[in-house]
Amino acid sequence: MSGDVCIVGVGIHRFGRTDGVSGLEQGVFAVNQALGDAGIDWQQIQFAYGSSDAAGNPDTMVERLGLTGVQFINVRNGCAAGGSALFSAQMAIKSGEYDIGLAVGFDKHPRGAFDAKPAEYGLPEWYGDVGQMVTTQFFGAKITRYMHEHGITPTTLGRVAEKAYRNGAHAPHAWRREPVSLETIMDAPLVSDPYTKFMFCSPAEGGVALILASEKKARELGKPLIRLKAATMRTRPPGSFEVFAPSIDLDPADGRPRGTATRIASADAFRMAGIGPKDIAVAQLQDTEAGAELMHMAENGFCADGAQEQWLAEGRTEVGGALPVNTDGGCLACGEPIGASGLRQVYENVVQLRGDGGGRQVPGNPKTAYTHVYGAPGVSAVTILER
């Protein structure tokens, strides 16, 4: 057996706004930090996969890292771009073709909402005319339906955001690093009903790099073995209710929307890892808005639809709870640079498994960690780490 793929080095450029520093430069910063963490130099990297949506071609990083002739492939896959780069990198090692390589993601988005065009997603112009290409509108409509069906109250949305900013205060890489009270969150201006301004993340900047190696190479480097037990990326099934979905195809048996990309990616990841949701010690779930975290708790198998109300009220997703979720504040506290966001989740899980989380460290010496990212037009990527 060739053994598991391991993560042997991690690096991050803080998220938020960094005037005068390009997205690509933030990616280079993260790569150099990851190289230092792994105890290697750029010349030892055999291949790279890089993701960026709006800040340039990742392969041009070689101009600053070194012209070694390395294979460097660019990845664009919406919000799952970083997870897709990681998936590709681990496959290159699992195939036996390479021993050590890089997954890197970065972005630098302008202020304001993402400005997607209907034609880019095969949609008619009317879909944009009624406002649904503005994702805040879509997310508001989707969570309203979910809350109605499963008895979720607006206060629970507020508790998700409150936790995010409290956790972000302890994460040096987070953008929003000040706690915000539940009262302030609930009383803030409404953006898209039922979401107030504190319940949405913002497009942002940042860079993350992960160095992957075969188990044999990781042992040669003398690194602690953080094993990548599963990495999946899946697209939407028929009839799923996704971002930029112009209609919903209901299951005739129960009148509910059919399966989702997240459910498929999650089930496949658990099958690959040989474990289940109850075996996970810490999870990073896509939370571009507060309701996404709630819905993704159920879609990833951690609780039943509607159980989130009790989970949040009882503090089960807090750092010291039964299943800590988004320990660095997630997208709500960090923002969402598309190319880097999914890799940030994996970075945070490596930090947690190493026990280096400081004020946000999950107690009890966690040994398993889960990440999930989701984006338009219905793509999802999941990873499971073990040490």
Note whether 240 and 326 are same-domain residues. Answer: yes
Structural domain tally of the chain?
2
The domain that contains 32 carries what CATH number? 3.40.47.10
Residue 148 lies in a domain: yes
Average pLDDT (224-229) is 95
Same domain for 336 and 237: yes
Do 177 and 214 lie in one domain? The reply is no
CA distances to 61, 65, 106, 218 from 30, in Å? 11, 11, 9, 20
Residues 148 and 78 in one domain: no
Domain containing 350: what range?
135-202+230-386
Q: What is the DSSP string of 92-108?
A: HHHTTS-SEEEEEEEEE
Task: Give the C-alpha separation, 199 to 283, whole Å.
Answer: 19
In the structure, what pLDDT confidence band is assigned to residue 1 with cuts at 50, 70 and 90?
Answer: very low
Q: 69-81: per-residue pLDDT in tens?
A: 999 999 988 778 8
Please state, rounded to an integer, the average pLDDT across all residues of the chain.
93
Q: Is pLDDT above 70 for 247? A: no
pLDDT tens digits along 174-221: 999 999 999 999 999 999 999 999 999 998 999 999 999 999 999 999
For residue range 342-365, list pLDDT tens digits in order. 999 999 999 999 999 999 999 999
Q: How confident is the model at residue 54 (pLDDT cuts 50, 70, 90)?
A: confident
**By mean pLDDT, which of 149-153, 258-262, 304-308 is the weakest?**
258-262
Domain for residue 293, yes or no? yes
121 occurs within a structural domain: no
Query: 311 and 171 in one domain?
Result: yes
Q: Are 378 and 240 in contact (CB under 8 A)?
A: yes
Res 101: pLDDT: 98
Sign, CA torsion 299/301/305/310? negative
Cα-only R_g, the chain: 20
pLDDT in tens, 275-299: 999 999 999 999 999 999 999 999 9
Domain endpoint, select from 221, 248, 274:
221
Q: Quick one: tokens of 168?
A: 């972000």
Place of tokens 């975290």: 293
Residues 139, 245 contacting (CB under 8 angstroms): no
**pLDDT above 70 for 37:** yes
Q: What is the pLDDT of residues 256-276, one digit of tens each?
A: 656 899 999 999 999 999 999
Considering the domain boundaries, does residue 21 fall inside one?
yes
- Asked whether residue 117 is assigned to any structural domain, the reply reads no
pTM (two decimals): 0.94
How far apart are the C-alpha atoms of 42 and 210, rounded to whole Å? Answer: 13
Q: How many CB atoms lie within 10 A of CB 191?
A: 18
DSSP states of 236-262: PPTT---TT-SS--B-TTTSSB---HH
Digit-coded pLDDT (tens) for 6-20: 999 999 999 999 999
Q: What is the mean pLDDT of residues 373-377?
A: 87
| Distance (Å, whole) CA 172 – CA 13 | 10
Task: Give the pair of three-digit tokens for residue 122.
Answer: 């095969």
Same domain? 211 vs 157: no
**pLDDT score at 112:** 73
d(CA 243, CA 265): 17
Question: CA 20, CA 42: separation in Å to the nearest integer?
Answer: 25
pLDDT at residue number 252: 67
Domain boundary among 170, 192, 221: 221
Q: Within a domain: residue 270? A: yes
Assess if residue 116 is contained within a domain: no
Residues of the chain with pLDDT > 70, as a percent, come to: 97
**Residues β-bridged to residue 48:** 72, 102
